Amino acid sequence: MSKVKYNKLPELIPQEIIERVSKLSPAQLCDGMKDLGILRDGCMDASLMPVDENKIMIGTAYTVDTEEGDNFPIHVAIYQGKPGYVLVVAGKGHTERAYIGDLMGAAADAIGLNGIVIDGFVRDKVGLKELNIPIYAKGFMQRGPSKVGPGEINTVVTCAGVKVEPGDLIFGDYDGVTVIPRDRIEEVLEKAEKKSAYEEERRKTIAEYVACRDNNEELPDIAPGWVNEMKDKLGI
C-alpha cells in the first residue's frame, strides 16, 4: 500500500494580517484578486453557502481530500485541528451523502476551529445552525456518510473550483467563500484596502445626494467619476 498522505498543520497566518482582513469583505478581497489576475478572483463556487449567514469565517486553511461521502479523513482532521484554522474539505461536490452533521460540527466547535468548508452536502441543518462555528456547504442531505479512508490531510486540493494550499487564508460571509493564496496576501490586502477606501467615498457621495434630495437642494452628480470618463471615451 502506498504511503498515507496525512501531513501536519500549516503555520497559522499572523494575527495582524487576520485583523486587517477582518476590516474588509470577501467581495473587496475578490476585487483585489481580480486586479492581480488571480484565478477565479479566489472565489469558490456560488453554490457553496453558509448554513448560517450571520456568521463570518476567517482563518488559516487546513485541508482534507475525500470523495463519495467518505468522512473518515474529516473525522481525523477535525480531532487534530486547533483554534485559528478553517477545515477545507475537497469533497468533489458529492450530493448523495452528507459529509458531516451536527455531532462532528459540535466537536469542531468544542476544539475551537474557525470554520468548516465542505465541497458537498451536510445534514442536521438546525443543529449546525445553533453552533458557534461557521459551516459552509453546497446543500443538505439526510443520508449518512460512508467510512472508507484514508483520503488525504493537508495536501494541495481543489475545493469548490479553487485551488487551496494548506496555509492559505479563507474568508467566508453571506456572499460565499474566498481563498487568498498565502504568498499573495500582502498585495491582495493593499488592493482590497484601496477598494474599501473608494467604497467609503462612494457611500459619502450617495449620502450627500440623499441629503440634498430630502432638502430639495440642487442634486450633486451621483455617478462615479469612472462612468463619466468611460462615457466620454465612448462618445456617449
Binding residues for Mg(2+): 124
Q: In whole angstroms, how close is the CB of 129 to Mg ion at the nearest point?
A: 13
Q: In whole angstroms, how close is the CB of 1 to Mg ion at the nearest point?
A: 31
Return the number of the residue (144 or 224) whose C-beta is nearest Mg ion.
Answer: 144
CA-to-CA separations, 195 to 2, 30, 38, 186, 199, in angstroms, rounded: 48, 10, 16, 14, 6
Spatial distance between the Cα atoms of 230 and 197, rounded to a whole number of angstroms: 21
Return the number of the residue (99 or 171) whose C-beta is nearest Mg ion.
Answer: 99
Task: Name the pairing type of β-strands 139-140 and 49-50.
Answer: unpaired
Angle at 7 between CA 6 and CA 11, to 5 degrees: 150
Spatial distance between the Cα atoms of 118 and 99, rounded to a whole number of angstroms: 8
Spatial distance between the Cα atoms of 52 and 57, rounded to a whole number of angstroms: 11
Q: In whole angstroms, how close is the CB of 116 to ligand OAA at the nearest point?
A: 11
Binding residues for substrate: 101-104, 123
Return the number of the residue (58 or 78) whose C-beta is nearest ligand OAA.
Answer: 78
C-alpha cell at 142: 439526510
Binding site for ligand OAA (CB under 6 A): 71, 100-104, 123-124, 144-145
Question: What does 71 interact with, of Mg ion, ligand OAA, none (CB < 5 to 8 A by kind)?
Answer: ligand OAA
Q: In whole angstroms, how close is the CB of 78 to Mg ion at the nearest point?
A: 14
Binding site for Mg ion (CB under 5 A): 101, 103, 124
When CB distances to ligand OAA are compared, the closest residue is 101
Return the number of the residue (64 or 188) whose C-beta is nearest ligand OAA.
Answer: 64
